[in-house]
Structure 1
Amino acid sequence: MNAISTKTDIISNWQKQHEILFGQQAIKLNHTLIDTGLFTREALGRLIERCPPEELGLVSRRTVDGVQSRMFGELGETSGLDAIDAIERGKIWMNIRRVMDWAPEYRSLLERVFAEFENRVPNLKTFKHNLGVLISSPKAEVFYHADIQGQSLWQISGSKRVYLYPNNSAFVSPESIEKILLRETDEDMAFKSWHDTYATPFDLNPGEMTTWPLYAPHRVDNHDSLNVSVTMEHWTKPIWNTYAVHYGNGVLRRTLGLKNLSTAPQGLHVYSKAALAFAWKKLGKQETGDVIKQRGFRIDADAPSGIVELA
């Protein structure tokens, strides 16, 4: 397996101001992940076949009476390379999750990335690193959503446009964050057409990556090409504090009906809300397993759209 030289920076155009902007402002940088050999078409085909079924997410679009909706799918017996071929001619979004847990060569790369960030950003200490791979069709879309960890998106092949929105309550309400954290829904949120007036759009091309502030909503439109991207997630103590506060607020809202709860990520209330979050999970109140309960299609390399719908 090819490996990137430890003498070569993964981020190739880091500048002094980025250590201040990291985590606070959307930034776009250049990277050398393509040179690792871990993301060729053949390597990705093997990765798909190695992926545990519970870590493989598949989404497609369906139009009924002029109304578009999402449906979720399964790989079936399709080979990895055939699945990529199906994605290339369909309207499919594949998410290969938690790759570092079952593919050690990707864990090594992930650790290298965050060691580099921590060496470059003063006082940055990260943990619970995660790496996923996204393979998606030409013109595929990712709906308006927010992520609960520190997030970065690394483009490997194809190109896409990312629309980033302000991370304030006008665009992502505390209630929406709570539903995501308590696994009452996936990461999607209600989108209004006026949101785009306030979006910052930018294109990602191969060899480019971007990272943005915590909970900043975003959506993605692929250009007319198969897209391969890598997502990396991380936690820090401030991110964990914010998680605990929103989670605790969600519990209080559901058990006591409280409103106007503080979301400040510091103060004594952080610890009490963290205790609430722990107790809620311990009591089995949080939804477990995949939020998606029904699969509507299966990948089919012989189908014109790359999928067959299930009954």
Structure 2
Amino acid sequence: MRDITTGNIIADWKPEYAGMFGKETLKLKHTLHQSEWFSDERLANLIEKAERSHYHVNTRSSGPDGKKRRREGEFGGLSGMEVLQAVRKGDIWINLRAPQLADPAYGDMLHDMYAEFETRVPGLETFKHKTTILISSPNVYVPFHSDVPGQMLWQVRGTKRVWLYPAEEPFVTRNAIEKLILGELHETDMPYDETLDEKAFVTDLQPGDMLHWPLNWPHRVENHDCLNVSVTTEHFTREIRTSYAVNYANGLLRKAGIANPRKQTGGLAATAKTALAGAVKFSGLRRQAHKPYTIDFVVDPSGKAGIRDIDPYELRL
């Protein structure tokens, strides 16, 4: 059962928001920050119960060329409270990718979120819902990246600044989206240049703020000087599923030598590409070439930046 005293997750809905959902940036108020789901005790419990395939823990370090690179790590044998201690003093961020598997209450929360949107947005039907809890150190920078499904970001503790960019060139190429969908590109591998910020939508999120943006829009995040806890939710609709299938098929066609396949949103061509994507994806003829993650640190509250280097190994999630 939800323990939010207001009885609603969305706190300031207006009728005009229905036509904006999925098409424009939408910033709303919510009540998740009033819940005990995001106390230190509940978060520590989730960390301790998280299976290795259901979390990421990252930091960024300077390489030989002076550029920051994203690194992947592990919790080791720490307690949940020890991990949170490292986050508070360190330079790391954690993605708990399936909290509902450790505590069904988060599954109820996810169901209620989308039930409220589907009640308020006529004709909206969503599926393949997922949620991730993000726990970040003060001043952590989440690099420029894009996501495949529909996205919402719910701020619970702390403050962060978000930059959003349209899903078009020069911000992101269709080829990059196709590779992301084919599993040939990590979401944070997309190239970024500071000149892109001139046309970005920029906003600060406080506890109780929620941000939604159109499909595949690249974004980046800078946390303020405080521990941050956020929730991301993702979903599909029929339109998003078609976009996914067309991009998947276009990626295959591009690999077959077609230089610039068209991106259809409907009609016979989109139907044909959807069929192609389904046939290839589920036939086993092409296994997704997911890039492995290199694990090269363990969380350590006594270490610099809250981490300790270890001998690297590869992990496929």
TM-score bracket for this pair, using the shorter chain length: over 0.9
Task: Check the 8 A contact 2:137/2:228 in 1, yes or no.
Answer: yes
Post-superposition Cα deviations, 1:33-80, rounded to whole Å, max 9, x if no partner, equal: 122311111100001111111111011011134332111101110111
Q: What secondary structure, in the 3-state scheme, does the structure 2 residue paired with 1:305 have? A: helix
The one-letter amino acid of 1:153's match is: L
Partner of 2:315: none
Q: What secondary structure, in the 3-state scheme, does the structure 1 residue paired with 2:10 have? A: coil
Distance in 2 between residues matched to 1:2 and 1:269, nearest whole Å: 44
Task: Check the 8 A contact 2:168/2:174 in 1, yes or no.
Answer: no
Partner of 2:180: 180
Q: How does 1:215-254 map to 2 (within 5 A)?
A: 215-254=216-255
Q: How does 1:266-285 map to 2 (within 5 A)?
A: 266-281=266-281, 282-283=283-284, 285=286
* 91-100 or 132-141, larger mean C-alpha shift: 91-100
Post-superposition Cα deviations, 1:1-38, rounded to whole Å, max 9, x if no partner, equal: 86225x72211111111111111111111100122311
The one-letter amino acid of 1:265's match is: T
Partner of 1:37: 36
Q: What secondary structure, in the 3-state scheme, does the structure 2 residue paired with 1:168 have? A: coil
Q: How does 1:49-60 map to 2 (within 5 A)?
A: 49-60=48-59
Q: 1:246 to 1:2 in 2, by over 3 A?
A: closer
Task: Check the 8 A contact 1:172/1:215 in 2, yes or no.
Answer: no
The one-letter amino acid of 1:36's match is: S
Distance in 1 between residues matched to 2:2 and 2:171, nearest whole Å: 42
Post-superposition Cα deviations, 1:226-278, rounded to whole Å, max 9, x if no partner, equal: 110000011000000000000000011112x1122121221112222222222
* 267-276 or 120-129, larger mean C-alpha shift: 267-276
Q: What secondary structure, in the 3-state scheme, does the structure 2 residue paired with 1:166 have? A: coil
Partner of 1:203: 204
Unaligned runs of 5+ in 2: 312-317
Q: 1:216 to 1:301 in 2, by over 3 A?
A: same
Task: Check the 8 A contact 1:183/1:288 in 2, yes or no.
Answer: yes
Matched, 1:164 2:161: no
Distance in 1 between residues matched to 2:77 and 2:253, nearest whole Å: 45
Task: Check the 8 A contact 1:31/1:207 in 2, yes or no.
Answer: yes
Distance in 2 between residues matched to 1:102 and 1:121, nearest whole Å: 31
The one-letter amino acid of 2:221's match is: V
Distance in 2 between residues matched to 1:15 and 1:78, nearest whole Å: 45
* 166-175 or 117-126, larger mean C-alpha shift: 166-175
Unaligned runs of 5+ in 1: none
Distance in 2 between residues matched to 1:286 and 1:32, nearest whole Å: 42
The one-letter amino acid of 2:165's match is: Y
Task: Check the 8 A contact 1:139/1:223 in 2, yes or no.
Answer: yes
Q: 1:142 to 1:292 in 2, by over 3 A?
A: farther
Distance in 2 between residues matched to 1:70 and 1:92, nearest whole Å: 10
Distance in 2 between residues matched to 1:252 and 1:155, nearest whole Å: 39
Matched, 1:142 2:126: no
The one-letter amino acid of 1:52's match is: E
Partner of 2:299: 299
* 101-110 or 246-255, larger mean C-alpha shift: 101-110
Task: Check the 8 A contact 1:72/1:292 in 2, yes or no.
Answer: no
Distance in 2 between residues matched to 1:214 and 1:28, nearest whole Å: 15
Partner of 1:12: 11
Q: After TM superposition, give the deviation of residue 91 of structure 1 in Å.
A: 1.1
Post-superposition Cα deviations, 1:95-154, rounded to whole Å, max 9, x if no partner, equal: 000223443111111111101000000100000111110001111111111111110000
Distance in 1 between residues matched to 2:292 and 2:27, nearest whole Å: 32
Distance in 1 between residues matched to 2:59 and 2:304, nearest whole Å: 14
The one-letter amino acid of 1:39's match is: F
Partner of 1:287: 288
Matched, 1:95 2:95: yes
Q: What secondary structure, in the 3-state scheme, does the structure 2 residue paired with 1:38 have? A: helix
Task: Check the 8 A contact 2:2/2:108 in 1, yes or no.
Answer: no
Task: Check the 8 A contact 1:157/1:228 in 2, yes or no.
Answer: yes
